[in-house]
Amino acid sequence: MNDEQKQRYLEKYQQAKQKGVKFFPDIIYKDLLMSFALFIILVMLATFVGVANEPKADPSDSSYIPRPEWYFLFLFEMLKFFPGKIEWLGTVVLPTLAILALFLLPFLDRSPARHPSKRWRTISVMGVVVLAMIGLTIRAVITTPPQAEAESLAASLGESILVGQDLYSVNCVECHGPDGEGGEIQGVEGLEGYLMKPINSQDEMYTRSDETLFDIINYGQPGQGMQPFGKAYGGELSVSEIETIVNFMRYTWDDRAEIPEEVSQASAVPALGENEVPSYDVYIAPLVKRNCVSCHRPGKKNNNYLMETFDEIMNSGDHAPNVIPGDLNSNLIRMLNREEIDAGGPMPPTKALKPEIIEIFTRWVLGGAPQTAEEAAAASGPITTTLTAPTTPLTVTLTAPEVTASPSP
Ligand code: HEC
Ligand code: HEC
């Protein structure tokens, strides 16, 4: 810009100044109008659109990834370039320098020219800064994995173990058995006859850290026939769900870990009164969940018998009804007693349930397969006499009906 141009520019400026728009009230008034409009828009957005709450803070959730709002993501991402000891460079020095540069701008860029072509130096410096911000933001979005939904599954360790036990029952029992004992696999496609080593042993527990167990469940053992369970790898379990399974395994199988009392109480099979008929709700449902559901749920190709609800247990299956109230020839009872019948082989295929558990199933069917505790209580009266005679040794109750069962098929 030569002197002549400068002169002309200054003259124009003087003229405009003389005509004059005052900062107060003219400019202030404009600003006020504008801020008010923005304010209204914000109120509208808050009222009609809103922002979803993040999940409640959960101090026990170690998988939570804290993240700033999107407009600070670039700063957050920049920190990754300044790890450990030089963190202060990224957190303090660089931002301070940037702000300082803004203060210095009026002194650095003294040219009165307005046209962009005359200001390319300043503009390109700012351009680089803006591009860097955009780039860093995109990088932050791409490299930070999405927040695993931080649903709080359990309030305490005990609860977590119980949740984990249920998840283990549904997802793992078919291959590893109810207690991780392994054995020869039967009734699982692709692994028929595979000799599964125990995963509840001291060997396993002492040599696998929680992280390793977590990873095994998360990634699976694809080469050996265990598919990945983690959502990130195509499975169905979230990070916190896998953590509960690890807790269950650690606290029930590792003899160095002490199981919380609430757990040992909750997972013990409740004792039956002498003439008591067990109900589905209290006795059968947890036993079925623990021992049968992993193979008898939707999505299994080798059988159509679903056992997740009372209704399903009573009515589903290719050989339904598998439970006939009062009839110990019911498929379910015969299969529990390890008979091979039309409906299939012994159940569970791998290993017999403990006699006291078979006893609970037997009494339930014999007592009319009641669903609720009230129905069971009502049923407990009439059958008292039937049961009292053989009660003393449990086995007597069992063998008697079996004998009557065998000639009929
Ligand atoms: C479809 C069958 C199947 C299911 C379901 C399954 N696994 Fe496995 N799992 C395997 C096989 C096969 C191996 C390899 C074991 C071997 O080497 O004998 C294995 C190995 C393991 C191991 C031991 C790995 C090692 O080398 O120490 C652990 C722990 C394990 N599974 C846990 C689980 C848990 C927990 C679940 C439920 C979330 C589960 N598995 C579900 C088949 C299965
Ligand atoms: C390892 C997988 C597995 C487990 C665990 C298992 N089952 Fe089965 N079940 C099967 C398969 C597979 C069939 C289909 C028949 C066959 O192949 O023997 C079946 C069939 C049945 C049937 C016949 C259903 C019909 O209508 O065809 C009954 C009843 C049954 N199971 C009861 C049970 C009970 C009760 C438990 C738990 C105590 C249990 N099963 C646990 C795999 C399993």
| Res 56: pLDDT | 58
Ligand 1 pocket member 217 (CB < 6 A): yes
Ligand 1 pocket member 225 (CB < 6 A): yes
Task: Count Cβ atoms below 10 Å from residue 251 Cβ, excluding itself.
Answer: 20
| Res 406: pLDDT | 45
Using the predicted structure, report yes or no on whether residue 112 has a pLDDT greater than 60: yes
Q: Are 241 and 167 in contact (CB under 8 A)?
A: yes
Average pLDDT over residues 289-313: 88
Q: Residue whose CA is closest, atom 33 of ligand 2? A: 347
Ligand 2 pocket member 331 (CB < 6 A): yes
pLDDT tens readout for residues 174-225: 899 888 998 888 888 888 889 999 999 999 999 999 999 999 999 998 888 8
CA distance 209 to 219: 15
Res. 31 pLDDT band, cuts 50 70 90 = very high
| Res 41: pLDDT | 96
Q: Are 174 and 111 in contact (CB under 8 A)?
A: no
Ligand 1 pocket member 213 (CB < 6 A): yes
Distance of CA 124 to the CA centre of its chain: 48
Q: Which atom of ligand 2 is nearest to the CA of 344?
A: 18
Measure Cα distances from 175 to 180, 193, 337 in Å.
9, 11, 21
| Res 390: pLDDT | 42
Ligand 2 pocket member 345 (CB < 6 A): yes
Among residues 289, 281, 254, the alpha carbon closest in space to that of 171 is found at 289
Task: Using most ligand atoms within 8 A of CB, pick from 175, 184, 215, 250 the residue to mutate for ligand 1.
Answer: 175
Q: Residue whose CA is closest, atom 28 of ligand 2? A: 332
| Res 407: pLDDT | 47
pLDDT tens readout for residues 231-252: 888 888 988 899 999 999 999 8
Ligand 2 pocket member 177 (CB < 6 A): no
CA distance 179 to 167: 13
Q: Are 243 and 279 in contact (CB under 8 A)?
A: no
